[in-house]
Amino acid sequence: MFRLFKDRNFVVFWFGEMVSVIGDHISLIAFPWLVLQMTNSAALTGLVFAVQGIPRAALMLAGG
């Protein structure tokens, strides 16, 4: 497995993927938090969580 990290192209790809995944997970928290701060509404915050989760759940069922 560590042989892969000797290939520069793989390291660049792996690092880019890692940054992208971290950004995706931060946005899952940041958007509902922003809605909560702007509206002070738990219902709207829950709605944002749900709206973010629907495509993810649907695509996981289809894509595995």
Summary mean pLDDT of the chain: 94
CB 31 within 8 A of CB 47: no
Q: Which domain holds residue 29?
A: 2-63
42 pLDDT tier (thresholds 50, 70, 90): very high
Total domains present in the chain: 1
Taking residues 14-37, what's their average pLDDT? Answer: 96
pTM greater than the 0.85 cutoff:
no
pLDDT for 44 beyond 90: yes
63 pLDDT tier (thresholds 50, 70, 90): confident
CB 52 within 8 A of CB 28: yes
Taking residues 34-62, what's their average pLDDT? Answer: 94
